[in-house]
Amino acid sequence: MQQSAIVIESLVKKFEDVTAVDGINLQVSKGELFGLLGPNGAGKTTTINVLCGLLKPTSGSATVGGYDVQKETSKVKELIGVCPQDTPVYPYLTGRENAEFFGNLHAMPKEKLKKNVDALLQRLSLLEDSKRRVGKYSGGMKRRLNLILALVHDPEIAFLDEPTVAMDPQSRHAVWDFIRDLKKNGKTVILTTHYMEEAETLCDRIGIIDHGKLIALGTPTALMRKYKAKNLEDVFIQLTGRKIREEA
């Protein structure tokens, strides 16, 4: 049996009277590319935030890399890389400075940091613009840099929250190739998205979340077979009675 990178048990997260995550149970194996699918406000980002130690669960438990997210948060933070949905980057720093800054926060050795930064800038086509201040970057460039900042320290587990949202098709496919490479290199990737095609193309398994509940779990093929659907969009419609993008 494969080792679990992430284990979530009866996870509940409430914000006053709103239940954002409602009793989720889930296991993600090491080296798996797992997709969390659901409309905006379904509870995907809240689940990720709990797993990163940013939010305390109301009840239930979660471990990341074998560490309890509440009790061993600092150990969890050493293992993970997080690419947030918005693009938090320092506009007054250059692309390279941003990457080096976050690498330093992970206390990376100088030489390894430079090697990683160069490789990532090259891979995501930002090397030529790496000495420009990020304030001058286009939206797509900022999104690609956002991904670099999450992965500069070569984390074992990557949380990618809507990494391709608002990207042009060409950039999106480049990022997809990059995410596939992460899996090839043995990384565990948790990808949240509301792009069905993205989930179908990239993910080993998918969990569909709606109103904080995990309503379906399986490989894309298995889910489509189970619900006799031609794609994941149809699966979602059959499960919820509405299209995923209507609430986006």
Partner 1 sequence: MNSQRILALVKKDLKHMVREPALLFLILLFPVVLTLAFGFSFGAVGGAQQTTFQIGVVNANENSLYPQYAQDFIANITSTEILIVEPYADNQTAQLDLAQGKIQALLLIPADFGASCNAFQTAPDNPDQWINTTVSLYLDSGSMVATQAIPPIIQQVLAAAIYGDQQATVPRPIQIGTPSLVEVTKQTMFDYMAPGLFAYAAIFLTMTVAQSFTTDRENGLLRRISVTPTTATEFMASQVLSNMIIAVAQAVLIFVMAYVVGYRPDVGVGIYAFAFVLVLLFSLCNVGFGLITATIAKSSGAATGLSFLFILPQMFLGTFVGAALSSAAQTAGRFVPSYYVTDALTSLLLRKAPVTSPIVLLDFAVVSLASVVVLAFGILLFRKYGKA
Contact positions vs partner 1 (CB under 8 A): 52-54, 74, 77-78, 80, 82, 84, 86, 88-90, 92-93, 97, 100-102, 104-107, 133, 149
Beginning with the edge strand found earlier in the chain, give each strand of the sheet holding 59-64 in spatial order: 18-29, 4-15, 59-64, 67-68
**Looking at beta carbons only, is 88 or 139 nearer to partner 1?**
88
**Looking at beta carbons only, is 9 or 78 nearer to partner 1?**
78
Residue 191 Cβ, how far from partner 1 at the closest point, in Å? 16
* Residue 168 and residue 136 in contact, taking contact as beta carbons nearer than 8 Å: no
Q: If you ran DSSP here, which 8-state letter would residue 162 be given?
A: S
Residue 115 Cβ, how far from partner 1 at the closest point, in Å? 17
Helix (H, G, I), strand (E, B), or coil: what is residue 236? helix
Residue 66 Cβ, how far from partner 1 at the closest point, in Å? 17
Tokens of 164: 């391709």
Residue 101 Cβ, how far from partner 1 at the closest point, in Å? 5
Tokens of 208: 């569909």
**Looking at beta carbons only, is 38 or 53 nearer to partner 1?**
53
Dihedral of alpha carbons 233, 64, 105, 202, sign: negative
**Looking at beta carbons only, is 6 or 244 nearer to partner 1?**
6
| Phi, psi (degrees; rounded to nearest 5) at 195 | -90, 110
Dihedral of alpha carbons 37, 41, 46, 48, sign: positive
Residue 217 Cβ, how far from partner 1 at the closest point, in Å? 25
Q: Where are the beta strands (DSSP E) in the chain?
A: 4-15, 18-29, 33-37, 59-64, 67-68, 80-83, 157-161, 188-193, 205-210, 213-218
Residue 177 Cβ, how far from partner 1 at the closest point, in Å? 25
**Looking at beta carbons only, is 11 or 157 nearer to partner 1?**
157
**Looking at beta carbons only, is 64 or 121 nearer to partner 1?**
64
